[in-house]
Structure 1
Amino acid sequence: MLRVGLTGGIGAGKSTVASRLAEHGALLIDADTIARDVVEPGTPGLAAIVAEFGDGVLAEDGSLDRPAMAERVFNDDTARSRLNGIVHPLVGERTAELLATAADDAIVVHDVPLLVENNLAPSYHLVLIVDAPADVRVRRLAESRDMPERDARARIAAQAEERQRRAAADVWLDNSGTPDVVRSEVDALWTERLVPFEANVRLRRPAPWGRTLVEHDPVWQEQARRVLDRIRLVAGERAVRADHVGATAVVDLPARDVLDLQLTVRSAQDVDALAPALTDAGFPLADAVSPVPDAVLHGGADPGRPVSLRVLVDGSPAARRALLLRDWLRADVDARAEYARIKREHADVPGIADTATGAASAAETVGDVRYAEAKRMWFDDVTAKADRWAAETGWTP
Structure 2
Amino acid sequence: MAGLTGGIGSGKSAVSARLAERGAVLIDADRIAREVVAPGTPGLAEIVEAFSPRVLAADGSLDRAALGAVVFADEAARRRLEAITHPRVRARTAELAAAAAPDAVVVNDVPLLVEVGLVPTYHLVIVVETAVPIRLERLARDRGMDRAEAERRVAAQADDARRRAAADALLSNDGSLAELYTAVDALWHDRLLPYERNVRERRVARPRQVQLAEYDPTWPQQYARLAARIRHALGPTDLRIDHIGPTAVPGLAGRDVIDVQLTVPSLAEADGTIAHRLADAGFPRMPGEWWDDPRPAGSGRWEKRLHGSADPGRAVNLHVRVADSPGWRYALLMRDHLRADPGQRAAYLLFKQELAASAPDGADFPTIRDPWFDEEYLRAEEWAAQTGWRP
**1:318 corresponds to 2:318:** no
Structure 1 equivalent of residue 314 of structure 2: 305
Superposition TM-score, scaled by structure 1 size: 0.91
Which of the residues 296, 313, 328 maps onto 2:337?
A: 328
C-alpha spacing 1:332/1:222, structure 2 compared with 1 (3 Å): same
**TM superposition shift of 1:267:** 2.9
- The whole-number CA distance in structure 2 between the counterparts of 1:315 and 1:284 is 24
Contact between 2:9 and 2:135, CA under 8 Å: does it hold in 1? yes
**TM superposition shift of 1:333:** 2.1
Contact between 1:212 and 1:349, CA under 8 Å: does it hold in 2? no
Structure 1 equivalent of residue 353 of structure 2: 344
**TM superposition shift of 1:138:** 2.1
Structure 1 equivalent of residue 224 of structure 2: 225
Structure 2 equivalent of residue 395 of structure 1: 389
- The whole-number CA distance in structure 1 between the counterparts of 2:136 and 2:318 is 43
Structure 1 equivalent of residue 260 of structure 2: 261
Which of the residues 373, 376, 391 maps onto 1:382?
A: 376
Contact between 2:250 and 2:339, CA under 8 Å: does it hold in 1? yes
**TM superposition shift of 1:280:** 0.7
C-alpha spacing 1:177/1:141, structure 2 compared with 1 (3 Å): same
Question: Which letter maps to 1:290?
Answer: W
- The whole-number CA distance in structure 1 between the counterparts of 2:69 and 2:181 is 35
Alignment of 1:149-164 (within 5 A): 149-164=147-162
- The whole-number CA distance in structure 2 between the counterparts of 1:310 and 1:169 is 24
Question: Which letter maps to 1:52?
Answer: A
Query: Does the residue aligned with 2:240 lie in a helix, a strand or coil?
Result: strand
Equivalent residues, number: 380
Query: Does the residue aligned with 1:347 lie in a helix, a strand or coil?
Result: helix
Contact between 1:211 and 1:349, CA under 8 Å: does it hold in 2? no
Question: Which letter maps to 1:298?
Answer: H
C-alpha spacing 1:350/1:372, structure 2 compared with 1 (3 Å): closer
Contact between 2:291 and 2:303, CA under 8 Å: does it hold in 1? no
C-alpha spacing 1:380/1:54, structure 2 compared with 1 (3 Å): same
Question: Which letter maps to 1:200?
Answer: N
- The whole-number CA distance in structure 1 between the counterparts of 2:175 and 2:210 is 36
Query: Does the residue aligned with 1:156 lie in a helix, a strand or coil?
Result: helix
Question: Which letter maps to 2:340?
Answer: A
Structure 2 equivalent of residue 355 of structure 1: none
Question: Which letter maps to 1:302?
Answer: D
Flag structure 2 segments of 5+ consecutive residues without an equivalent.
293-301
Provide, for residues 10-46 of structure 1, a one-character-per-residue CA deviation record: whole Å limited to 9, x for no partner: 2211111111111111110011000111111111111
**TM superposition shift of 1:199:** 1.1
Alignment of 1:287-298 (within 5 A): 287-292=287-292, 293-298=302-307
Structure 2 equivalent of residue 279 of structure 1: 279
- The whole-number CA distance in structure 1 between the counterparts of 2:245 and 2:367 is 15
- The whole-number CA distance in structure 1 between the counterparts of 2:338 and 2:277 is 33
Provide, for residues 123-156 of structure 1, a one-character-per-residue CA deviation record: whole Å limited to 9, x for no partner: 1110011122222222222233322222222222
